[in-house]
């Protein structure tokens, strides 16, 4: 068997392990009696996970802006430009705070995950691609009660 034959097998095993992790996290959430929300490309989130993360990132103005903007229209997409306007940070500062949230989640949950769905948006007529963000309505409600 060549190395090229082994690569797809390893990639499938990684995907299987990720799926198993998602299922086990769901079982833990069920055992804990808490409601869980599946965030696309991010995994399952519980209110407790959100509270744990928020305690670590609440002081970051760019992250607060991210949650404020996405919670104002839960289930709808928001743009990176909107976040910049709200936070008053430069693009680089906003990106740095997003990276900080990823580091916090990796420390808390052993993987980089966000309670907010995010993806690269389509190319605009000016040739720019902009990140888009969406917060599930249930998680938006949890955040409002936790952040108050």
What tens digit of pLDDT does each residue of 77-121 get? 999 999 999 999 999 999 999 999 999 999 999 999 999 999 999
**What integer pLDDT is reported at residue 23 of this predicted model?**
63
Selection from 136, 132, 102 nearest residue 119 by Cα: 132
pLDDT category of residue 148 using cuts at 50, 70 and 90: confident
Please state the separation of Cα 130 from the chain's center in Å: 16
For tokens 């949950």, the residue is 109
Report d(CA 114, CA 136) in Å as an integer.
12
Mean pLDDT of the chain: 90
H-helix or E-strand spanning residue 46: strand 43-46
């Amino acid at each position: 068997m060549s190395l090229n034959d082994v690569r797809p097998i390893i990639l499938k095993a990684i995907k299987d392990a990720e799926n198993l992790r998602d299922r086990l996290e769901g079982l833990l959430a069920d055992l804990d009696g808490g409601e869980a929300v599946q965030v696309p490309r991010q995994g399952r989130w519980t209110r407790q996970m959100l509270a744990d993360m928020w305690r670590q990132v609440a002081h970051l103005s760019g992250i607060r802006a991210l949650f404020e903007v996405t919670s104002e229209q839960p289930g709808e997409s928001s743009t990176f430009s909107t976040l910049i306007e709200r936070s008053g940070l430069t693009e680089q500062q906003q990106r740095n705070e997003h990276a900080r949230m990823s580091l916090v989640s990796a420390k808390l949950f052993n993987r980089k995950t966000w309670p907010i769905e995010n993806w690269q948006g389509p190319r605009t007529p000016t040739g720019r691609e902009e990140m888009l963000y969406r917060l599930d309505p249930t998680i938006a409600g949890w955040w409002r009660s936790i952040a108050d």
